[in-house]
Structure 1
Amino acid sequence: MNDTQTSVYRADENGYFGEFGGAILPPFLAGPMAEVAAAYEAARQDPAFEEELQSLLSKYVGRPSLLYFAENLTRELGGAKVYLKREDLNHTGAHKINHTLGEALLAKRMGKKKVIAETGAGQHGVALATAAALVGLDCEIHMGAIDVEKQHPNVVRMELLGAKVVPVERGGRSLKEAVDSAFEVYAAAPDEYLFAIGSVVGPHPFPTMVRDFQSVVGREARAQILEAEGRLPDALVACVGGGSNAMGLFDAFLPDDSVRIIGVEPAGEGLGTERHAATMTLGRVGDLHGMHTKVLFDESGEPAPVHSIGSGIDYPGVGPQHAHLEQIGRAEYVSVTDDEALDAFQLLTRTEGIIPALESSHAIAHVVKLAPTLSPESIVIANLSGRGDKDVDFVAERLRRA
């Protein structure tokens, strides 16, 4: 990116993307967070850090991940060619390993002994526990009690990897409460831990740092589609909760105005209900978890209870760069319901023999709507951010009740 593009698509020195972002923290946490920002900046410019991370991504994670032409799905839908960026094939089964390895290496570089984080669907928790085991760190994962029950296989994986899993019983007992709980523990002992945030959310530098670690997804996809088709795609589609998999795919294409960028968030049981997590569609500007962004608030002005069939995207906020991209008109945000995501889960499984995560199924659900409206010469890339092994028991039970 040139200097003009950098100023539009990169945070300023205080972590703001336009009006969104920053580090809105109590004074006693300002120092520890500034330490993280300084450590990341030094690591980012250190060739040895980058070399170690890239080596692990290649030799441990299995990158580059495939860019797969979904020929059967394309034929089923009609219209545009559909490609899937297969992050589900990564070690641990999702895109989360891309940034947790970076965070674990940074924690070790900073002399930390422990990493702590939240998780929703469990994919970030599994990935962080994996990275911590690899580099020799203790790991503590906070998880909403609803998600502990819903995503039990991932809880077992985390515990097998040596992580301490803390069920969170307060409030809505889901992702937002898990973030709150983990942050409280971190705030009491910031010298002991690195808070390894699981998305492009939170105070500066995390929206930038997690995006940078995830940007490998888009760089690969850009090179792969140019090799396969000789041109850039017409559209990118990715699910958005906090928004890390989406920013990972979108980042390399931001300067390419010909490429539509579409984030898909959870409409849950419907936008007219209170059972959704459609922050970009129905939220308003406010502060949450150390950042200034779009937030779903309840009538009392507190972050609203949210719902999605995809546990990893039931979050009442969104990464500040997403809010900025919408504001400047570079990205568009749509929503799909639980039922639409469940239909897409089944469709991709039947047509391609690929079982997607319910989070990723939101992106596929929008592709189902989008592809038939485009010409056969058009190209859509959807980020298949995770595999659905974790969801099959829940889906089976849901289908039995239908």
Structure 2
Amino acid sequence: MTAILKGYALPDDKGYFGEYGGSFIPETLQAIMNDITMAYEDIRKDPAFHRELAYLYKHFVGRPSPIFHAANLSRKTGGAQIYLKREDLNHTGAHKINHCLGEALLAKKMGKKKIIAETGAGQHGVALATAAVLVGLECDIYMGEVDIAKEHPNVVRMKILGANLIPVSRGTRTLKDAVDAAFEAYLEDPVTQLYAIGSVVGPHPFPMMVRDFQQIVGVEAREQFQDMTGGLPDNLVACVGGGSNAIGLFTAFLEDESVEIYGVEPAGRSLEKGDHAATLTLGKPGVLHGFKSYLLQDEEGDPLPVYSVASGLDYPGVGPQHSLLKDLGRVQYVTAGDKDAMDAFFTLSRTEGIIPALESAHALAFAMKKAAELDVSRTILVNLSGRGDKDIDFVVEKYGKIYGI
């Protein structure tokens, strides 16, 4: 389960993807990270672990998730044929369950008593709370107060599942601040609890580990798409915040030069006014939360406030492997704003009967524009990373009148 690009295994043994990644943490915590790395290296070579995870993916999550040809959307958009990798159909409603099960099983095998995490849109929080129940661990979830208000359905789900939901009132009261709070709590007791990071970010080994668990998305999609169409997709599209759903899809196709790959960042209300979270588009290399990547930062190197209508995308950093893929030019990182995402949200709902997560709607928005530029014989595979149940209260309150609700 190692990503290969142009003949190099990624990351290296110190957790670097080129110049990005690594581990910028206190020495005392580094010893704990080394233990996690060793434990992960052990289980990734253990056939029994893979059998257990495969069983849960099939019988608990419902994998493989299907690919659906969005024929109505393709006709409405005009041009290329749009296909959807239906991660929204997974148990808990998104791709997050893929790595949460892996991290929870790892924590259990390491003898941890509790798993803790941050969440933005609540999808990671719900998935981790679910995995914690399944393997018998306590679970603390840190969530910004702004996101708690926006994502009420997921807040309720986490509480029903027995998770301890801890509101974060500092700073912008969104995802970055939730990460800060969870990381501080982890530092207080890194021995009996595991910080189950929710994306391909953080110090080594988390960008590698989360990617490895998520790459099942691309492995399945590659085989499924060829079975459906007789070839590979011409284009891949996925939204990018931290970047776990995107790297999960992209990894299986990185060596296929015929496949163009697009990561879609949130342009928010305005790229020009700084009211966005387009890290790879407008950021520069820096260090945040123990790893080096592209970062939206001020002149002193401190992270800037970020914004997106999608709570799961409003993070000022991004996964280190995405940072390398940008520099190499293998993935093109583009943007979609709030309005485009909202239009895509309602368009998919009203053409295919599928309500997407607002995060996924960013990928859809770009895919629809891209499709209109291409011939009908071309194909686009979108990672529909989550379903929109969590967003409907917010959408109706803020945008309902605009869209006739």
Identity of aligned residues (%): 61
- 1:173-219 CA-to-partner distances (Å, cap 9, x unmatched) read 00000000000000110001111000000000000000000000000
Let me know the Cα RMSD of the aligned residues: 1.3
For residue 356 of structure 1, report the CA deviation from its aligned partner: 0.2
Partner of 1:103: 103
Partner of 2:48: 48
User: Structure 1, unaligned stretches of length 5 or more?
Assistant: none
In 1, Cα distance between equivalents of 2:264 and 2:307: 15
User: Does the 8 Å CA contact 1:117/1:182 hold for their aligned counterparts?
Assistant: yes
User: Does the 8 Å CA contact 1:9/1:17 hold for their aligned counterparts?
Assistant: no
User: Does the 8 Å CA contact 2:286/2:301 hold for their aligned counterparts?
Assistant: no
- 1:345-397 CA-to-partner distances (Å, cap 9, x unmatched) read 01000110000000000000001110011111111000000000111111111
1:12 aligns with 2:8: no
> Structure 1 residues 194, 336: closer, same or farther in 2, change over 3 A?
same
Query: Where in structure 2 are the equivalents of 1:2-401 lying within 5 Å?
Result: 5=5, 7-8=7-8, 10-400=10-400
User: Structure 2, unaligned stretches of length 5 or more?
Assistant: none
Paired letter, 1:380: I
- 1:92-118 CA-to-partner distances (Å, cap 9, x unmatched) read 000000000000000001000100000
SS in structure 2 of the partner of residue 346 of structure 1: helix
For residue 27 of structure 1, report the CA deviation from its aligned partner: 1.0
> Structure 1 residues 319, 3: closer, same or farther in 2, change over 3 A?
closer
In 1, Cα distance between equivalents of 2:4 and 2:93: 36
In 1, Cα distance between equivalents of 2:400 and 2:132: 38
In 2, Cα distance between equivalents of 1:379 and 1:14: 38
Taking structure 1 as the reference length, the TM-score comes to: 0.98
Paired letter, 1:320: P
How many pairs are equivalent? 402
User: Does the 8 Å CA contact 2:2/2:10 hold for their aligned counterparts?
Assistant: no
SS in structure 2 of the partner of residue 309 of structure 1: coil
In 2, Cα distance between equivalents of 1:82 and 1:352: 12
In 2, Cα distance between equivalents of 1:169 and 1:307: 16
In 1, Cα distance between equivalents of 2:258 and 2:291: 30
In 2, Cα distance between equivalents of 1:121 and 1:393: 13
> Structure 1 residues 3, 204: closer, same or farther in 2, change over 3 A?
closer
SS in structure 2 of the partner of residue 343 of structure 1: helix
> Structure 1 residues 56, 4: closer, same or farther in 2, change over 3 A?
closer
User: Does the 8 Å CA contact 1:40/1:106 hold for their aligned counterparts?
Assistant: yes
- Of 295-304 and 87-96, more deviation after overlay is shown by 295-304
Taking structure 2 as the reference length, the TM-score comes to: 0.97
